[in-house]
């Protein structure tokens, strides 16, 4: 079996999510947006698919790098193909990113699952068939009744628990909010959520790399008093030394890195330096399922948990094949958007959650995205 075609379909769909000037997601009015679907096809007509942002599968990247490495190759040689693309990143002028590697890697895994008639998490080796989800909020905003005040976070946290979530992660206020970031306001929101959900619900904070060492230390000390479960990305992750210093001076678990370049190599350096108590990976952060599995087992070798960053069927698959991680990150969530609504290009959500807060793995062959191909093909750009 050989790869004979790699194609990208760009289509439009309606969305209520908008990006601010710093790239954070917020609710907005319905508007058309573009989405891409990468498809890998073999000589026996087998196919694997992965949904993607248009910019990471633009024609230059597919023609110049992806096709050169993949065309004519056996799609089951995932490690070889991933290494081939990863090796070429250095000479790509920073254009061939981990996000492009991730989309290609996910499509190869999807192809293998569809060809063999099994879910990808079973193909890798399942640890569990359902994963508890935590509700991960959007960043704070200045929308009345949204996530504009500590009281808003308090009220929304109550709703999240009623919906079934067994844990909550906060993203608080960040630029371009006029007065953000502000660690004192972060603490007020965190305290409001703790008051809303009681002492037994795990709560986490993603401070989103906005703070100095002294601010990060003070904020972490306040989270310890509130008995938060972990503390995420309060400083720029380029400074491993700053995180080693922070972890040594706090009792609350420090988790990371999230988006630092370097894939499994960087995670190894963080563990060696004592810069984190829990490590982190996600398919789009490090280049796919293939390198994420390296990181999960690296952490396991050190007796360390590895929590998965982000939503989607690729990250859900990682959650299902690991013992050393507890949660699936479901979101981003906001009072003004119903996350359970099914996007037009899907027939069903790949991470539907039951009333008890569990996301069940799809038993369909492949990664688990139930793509509405009729919709995609009728809304092509």
Phi, psi of 337 (to 5 degrees): -130, 135
Establish how many alpha carbons lie within 13 A of residue 197's alpha carbon, considering only the half-sphere containing its beta carbon.
Answer: 31
**Neighbour tally for 289: CB within 10 Å:** 27
Half-sphere exposure of 349 (CA within 13 A, CB side): 16
Backbone angles phi, psi at 367, to 5 degrees: -75, -30
Main-chain dihedrals φ then ψ at residue 133, nearest 5 degrees: -110, 145
For the chain, list the strands marked E by DSSP: 3-19, 25-42, 47-52, 130-137, 168-171, 203-206, 230-232, 254-255, 279-281, 306-308, 328-333, 346-348, 358-360, 370-371
DSSP 300-347: HHTT--EEEPS-SHHHHHHHHT-SS---EEEEEEBTTB-TTSPPTTEE
- Angstrom CA distances, 315 to 39, 66, 121, 180, 286, stand at 19, 22, 10, 30, 12
Q: Residue 246 half-sphere exposure, CB side, CA atoms within 13 Å?
A: 33
Q: What are the pLDDT tens digits along the chain (381 aa)? A: 999 999 999 999 999 999 999 999 999 999 999 999 999 999 999 999 999 999 999 999 999 999 999 999 999 999 999 999 999 999 999 999 999 999 999 999 999 999 999 999 999 999 999 999 999 999 999 999 999 999 999 999 999 999 999 999 999 999 999 999 999 999 999 999 999 999 999 999 999 878 999 999 999 999 999 999 999 999 999 999 999 999 999 999 999 999 899 999 999 999 999 999 999 999 999 999 999 999 999 999 999 999 999 999 999 999 999 999 999 999 999 999 999 999 999 999 999 999 999 999 999 999 999 999 999 999 999
Contact (CB, 8 A) for 85 and 101: yes
Residues in the chain, total: 381
Query: Looking at residue 210, what is its pLDDT?
Result: 83
CA nearest neighbour of 60 among 12, 33, 108, 96:
96
């Amino acid at each position: 079996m050989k790869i004979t075609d790699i194609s990208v379909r760009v289509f439009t769909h309606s969305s209520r999510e908008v990006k601010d000037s710093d790239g954070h997601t917020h609710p907005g009015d319905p508007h058309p947006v573009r989405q891409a679907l990468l498809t890998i096809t073999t000589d026996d007509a087998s196919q694997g698919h992965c949904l993607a942002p248009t910019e990471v599968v633009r024609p230059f990247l597919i023609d110049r790098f992806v096709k050169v490495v993949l065309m004519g190759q056996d799609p089951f040689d995932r490690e070889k193909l991933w290494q081939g693309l990863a090796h070429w990143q250095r000479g790509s002028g920073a254009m061939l990113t981990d996000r492009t590697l991730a989309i290609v890697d996910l499509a190869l895994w999807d192809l293998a699952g569809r060809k063999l008639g099994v879910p990808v998490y079973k193909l890798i080796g399942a640890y569990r068939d359902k994963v508890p989800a935590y509700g991960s909020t959007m960043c704070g905003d200045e929308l009345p009744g949204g996530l504009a005040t500590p009281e808003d976070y308090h009220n929304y946290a109550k709703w999240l628990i009623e919906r079934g979530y067994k844990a909550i992660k906060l993203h608080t206020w960040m630029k371009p909010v006029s007065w953000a970031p502000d660690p004192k306001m972060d603490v007020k929101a965190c305290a409001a959520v703790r008051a809303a959900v009681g002492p037994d619900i795990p709560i986490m904070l993603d401070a989103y790399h906005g703070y100095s060492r002294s601010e990060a230390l003070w904020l972490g000390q306040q989270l310890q008093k509130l008995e938060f479960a972990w503390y995420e990305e309060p400083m720029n992750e380029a400074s491993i030394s700053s995180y080693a210093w922070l972890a040594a001076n706090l009792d609350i678990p420090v988790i990371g890195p999230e988006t630092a370049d370097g894939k499994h190599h960087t995670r190894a350096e963080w563990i060696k330096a004592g810069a984190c108590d829990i490590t982190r990976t996600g398919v789009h952060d490090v280049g796919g399922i293939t390198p994420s599995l390296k990181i999960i087992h690296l952490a396991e070798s050190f007796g360390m948990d590895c929590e998965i960053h982000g939503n989607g069927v690729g990250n859900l698959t990682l959650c299902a094949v690991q013992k050393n991680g507890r949660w699936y990150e479901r979101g981003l969530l906001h009072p003004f958007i119903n996350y359970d609504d099914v996007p037009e290009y899907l027939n069903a959500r790949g991470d539907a959650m039951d009333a008890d807060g569990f996301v069940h793995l799809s038993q369909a062959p492949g990664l688990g995205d139930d793509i509405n191909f009729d919709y995609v093909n009728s809304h092509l750009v």
